[in-house]
């Protein structure tokens, strides 16, 4: 019996999704914000991720919905992606985030209690 790995079936699912002309990777959101670093650096991704988190929290506090579209990151870093965004070649796009008005309030997500280990 031939079995497919979960990664292979997920890849197949994404290929079908991207091949569908009706699919919009940005979910028809009215706004796309791409947080980018001016140049490659050891802290570029961390700095952009922290900025993205702060922006997403501020948007939530203002009643807006956001989603980091990680699926778009690889393409945005290509020469075609950078050209579409009118970014210089030295720029590193890190966080593509859509912003819009949510259709309904998000329910609270149950969280596990954190494990805290104190080191003396």
pLDDT at 8: 55
Note whether 71 and 29 are within 8 A (CB): no
Neighbours of 86 (CB within 10 A): 7
How long is the chain?
A: 120
Q: What are the tens digits of pLDDT across the range 63-89?
A: 999 999 998 988 899 999 999 999 999
- d(CA 74, CA 3) in angstroms, rounded, equals 28
Q: Where are the domains of the chain?
A: 27-100
pLDDT at 9: 56
Is the domain spanning 27-100 CATH 3.40.109.10? The answer is: yes
Cα diameter, the chain: 58
Q: Which residues in the chain land under pLDDT 70?
A: 1-10
């Amino acid at each position: 019996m031939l079995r497919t790995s979960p990664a292979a079936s997920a890849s197949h699912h994404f290929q079908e999704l991207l091949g569908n002309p009706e699919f919009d990777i940005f979910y028809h959101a009215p706004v796309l914000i791409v947080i980018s670093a001016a140049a490659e650096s050891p802290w570029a991704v961390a700095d952009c991720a922290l900025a993205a988190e702060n922006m997403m929290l501020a948007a939530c506090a203002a009643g807006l919905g956001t989603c980091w579209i990680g699926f778009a990151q690889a393409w945005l870093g290509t020469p075609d992606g950078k050209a579409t965004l009118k970014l210089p070649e030295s720029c590193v796009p890190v966080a593509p985030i859509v912003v819009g008005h949510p259709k309904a309030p998000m329910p609270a997500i149950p969280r596990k209690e954190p494990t805290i280990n104190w080191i003396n």
